[in-house]
Amino acid sequence: MPDPTRTVLRQAVPRFVRLLPAVLAGVASGGSAVALLAASAWLIARAAEQPPVLYLSLGIVGVRAFALGRAVFRYLERLSGHDASFRQLAEIRAGVFERMLPVAPDGLAASRRGDLLARFVGDVDELQNVPLRVVQPVVSALVVLALSVAGVALLAPASAAAVLGCLVLGVGGTLLVQRWAAIRAERTLAPLRGQLQAAVVEHVQALDVLVAFDSAAAGRRAIEAIGARLARATRARAAATGAASAAMTAVGGIAVAASLAAAAPILEAGRIDGPTFAVLCLVPLAIAEVAGAIPLAASALRIARSSAERVAHAVPARIPDGIPQVPPAPAEAPPTIPPPAITLRGIRAHWPKPDERAETPAAVLAGLDLDLAPGERVLVRGGSGAGKTTLAHVLVRFLEYEGSYRLGGVEASTLDPRAVRRRVGLVEQRPWLFDEDLRQNLIFARDTASDDELLDVLERVGLRGWVEERGGLGARVGERGALVSGGQAQRIALARAMLADFPVLVLDEPTANVDPDRADALLRDLAGAATRSGRTVVLISHTTVDEALVDRVVTLEDGRIASRGPLPHLDPVRK
């Protein structure tokens, strides 16, 4: 099985054709830097001999050309390299999001929201450094170093051998020291950034509760402690990077001394002249500067590897083979879909484990069998932990399952999850309301709905009068529905589900946030509005429900059906 971290790192590298311009520009920029120093050294030494100015023209032109070329090629390298990297980054980010879709939302429930956001944004962004600071600089540097050493060898083989030896020993030693000094800090940078963002997000989301219990200061101290650890890791990495740069500068000086010592006998023997000797003495400085990209690339690779590991494990690896990780675009659904028959056999399901190393939790549903006829109203009840909400999430494919779940005669695991969710809708016990007005909270279920259609569906769930009192569809609901009551939030969520026109509607604890005095009235309104168009309704509740509202009662216990049966008032003709 391929290493997922290496797979992500390979995906971060653009295609050869796309990265080639940056590599060539990098070679030209590094070569210009070496040639600039060589031309400058030759020009200064040759000018000291006071020849006719005509003999210096080529050197003067070379200095000007290489100085301009170094800057121009450096700009082109950055431009083409960043263009290729950002294009690849967009593909990686889209790929991560597409991998999340089949397992969202329950497959991601074990991940902290802030940390997941940090992986999706910060760690994916860090992958741009793979081509920008690792692949392209190293390839360009190796090409320039090979050409430069070959050029020195043409003038003085002994100097080339001395410079090459200094580079190999110096770069190797710098890499070892840098690894020893900064490897721990570099590997913890990305996880610490994720921990910090997760802690900040959780602190802000729970700020009202923390303030109420006088625990906000403790939360801030925890954030500050993570920030201090991140700062220490950042400083350690910066210190190691600075030490590597200093070491490569020292390597340049040592290479100059070694080249000088190797070229001196040749100069004394008259085999080279003074300007050539000056070139052999100063070019190693430029060569060492080019070689300095290699330790920096090694440091960037370690950080990128840590981020790649977090990106690779941002989505659980337990995506069943039967589910496409990139679902195909579904065909347009017909305007009205008849309620399908639902058959469950031997259903087993459990909630996600906290991480891949944790033991798989015990199944919440353990061999459940259930049949739902088209247009049937079924009450599923049971105590807390019996598996009611788990069943609801299996029906809409938020949770994966073992066993057989057939929707209209077709196994649900073979369908695009979006196709299942066009037929089975869920109204959760804590419906999510966006910090927008009522109109925006409704029309994303059907963006072509007119205001009259919105008001009509609100009337069907008993909210039209309340909406008109608040000033119409432009009334805001507040963050997470803070400006509406629990019962009103449930009605808004039901109106949204009715706009989507789900053939099968699952109501999970619709009265959980409602006063007991109003629960019966709300439940009667919800059940009546949901079944008026003949759709199948699965009503989940652990509290007492008027059995006249449903056709059948199913009782869950320990993930299995403890009892089931039709009610005396069931009308077989309607079914």
Distance CA 6, CA 440 (A): 42
Looking at residue 355, what DSSP letter applies? S
Amino acid (one-letter) located at 569 = H
**Strands annotated E in 3-79:** none
- Say which range, 165-179, 318-332, 424-438, 496-510, has the weakest mean pLDDT: 318-332
What confidence score (pLDDT) does residue 83 get?
A: 93
Instruction: Summarize the confidence of residues 409-419 as an average pLDDT.
Output: 85
Same-domain pairing of 301 and 349: no
**Of the residues 291, 312, 333, which one is the last residue of a structural domain?**
312
**Which residue would you say has higher pLDDT here, 27 or 176?**
27
Please tell me the least confidently modeled range out of 238-242, 363-367, 414-418. Answer: 363-367
Q: Are residues 505 and 427 in the same domain?
A: yes
Confirm whether 406 is domain-assigned.
Answer: yes
Of all residues in the chain, what percent carry a pLDDT higher than 70? 85
- Residues 433, 364 within the same domain: yes
Q: Do 519 and 562 belong together in one domain?
A: yes
Asked if 141 and 193 sit in the same domain, the reply is yes
Query: What's the average model confidence in pLDDT over 439-444?
Result: 87
pLDDT above 90 covers what percent of the chain? 22
Confidence check: pLDDT of 66 > 90: yes
pLDDT at 60 over 80: yes
Do 356 and 231 lie in one domain? The reply is no
Tell me if 60 is assigned to some domain: yes
Assign 498 a pLDDT band (cuts: 50, 70, 90).
confident
Rounded CA separation 97/100 (Å): 5
Range in 65-79, 92-106, 392-406, 424-438 with the lowest mean pLDDT? 92-106
User: Does residue 332 lie within any of the structural domains?
Assistant: no
Res. 356: pLDDT tops 60: no
> Cis peptide before 105, with omega less than 30 degrees from 0?
yes
Between CA 417 and CA 329 the distance in angstroms is 11
Q: Specify the pLDDT at position 189.
A: 83
Q: What is the pLDDT of residue 236?
A: 85
Q: Give the helix ranges, DSSP H, for 101-156.
A: 113-118, 124-126, 129, 136-155
pLDDT digits (tens, 9 = 90+) for 520-556: 766 776 666 666 567 788 888 877 777 777 888 888 8
**Domain assignment present for 423:** yes
Per-residue model confidence as pLDDT tens digits over 303-312: 888 888 888 8
pLDDT at 147: 94
Question: 91-127, pLDDT tens digit by residue?
Answer: 888 877 777 766 666 656 556 667 777 777 778 888 8
Based on the fold, state whether residues 33 and 91 are members of the same structural domain: yes
pLDDT at 193 over 60: yes
How many domains would you assign to the chain? 2
| pLDDT score, position 325 | 42
For the chain, what percentages of helix, strand and coil (3-state, to nearest 5) are there? 60, 10, 25
Burial class for 160, CB neighbours closer than 10 Å (0-12, 13-18, 19+):
buried
Residue 351 confidence (pLDDT) above 80 = no
Together in a domain, 369 and 262:
no
> What's the pLDDT band for 330 if we cut at 50, 70, 90?
very low
- Read off the CATH number of the domain in which 54 is found: 1.20.1560.10
Give me the pLDDT at residue 327, please.
44
Confidence of residue 8 (pLDDT cuts 50, 70, 90): confident
Largest CA distance in the chain: 117
Average pLDDT value for the chain: 82
What angle, rounded to 10 degrees, do the helices at 157-205 and 136-155 form?
A: 170
The arithmetic mean of pLDDT across residues 420-430, rounded, is 84
Are the C-beta atoms of 440 and 432 separated by less than 8 Å? no
Give the number of other CB atoms < 10 A from CB of residue 146: 11
Q: Return the higher-pLDDT residue of 159 and 353.
A: 159
CA torsion through residues 232, 237, 241, 246, sign: positive
In terms of domains, do 378 and 282 share one?
A: no
Distance CA 253, CA 26 (A): 24
Secondary structure of 442-472 in the HEC alphabet?
HHCCCCCCCHHHHHHHHHHCCCHHHHHHCCC
d(CA 395, CA 342): 9
- Residues forming beta bridges with residue 539, ordered by sequence position: 379, 507
Phi (first) and psi of residue 52, to 5 degrees = -60, 145
CA atoms in the 13 A half-sphere facing the CB of 545: 33
Our CA dihedral for 346, 352, 355, 360, rounded to 10 degrees, sits at -30
Dihedral (Cα; 206, 210, 213, 214), 10-degree rounding = -170
Instruction: Work out the angle between the directed axes of helices 136-155 and 57-100 (0-180°, nearest 10).
Output: 150
Residue type, 193: R
Note the pLDDT of residue 361. Answer: 58
User: Given this model, what pLDDT does residue 20 score?
Assistant: 94
Same domain? For 223 and 287 the reply is yes
Full residue range of the structural domain in which residue 388 is found:
342-566
Cβ neighbour number for residue 104 with a 10 Å cutoff: 14
- Our CA dihedral for 420, 425, 430, 435, rounded to 10 degrees, sits at 90
Same domain, 250 and 377: no
Identify the CATH number of the domain in which residue 545 sits: 3.40.50.300
- The per-residue pLDDT for 565 is 59
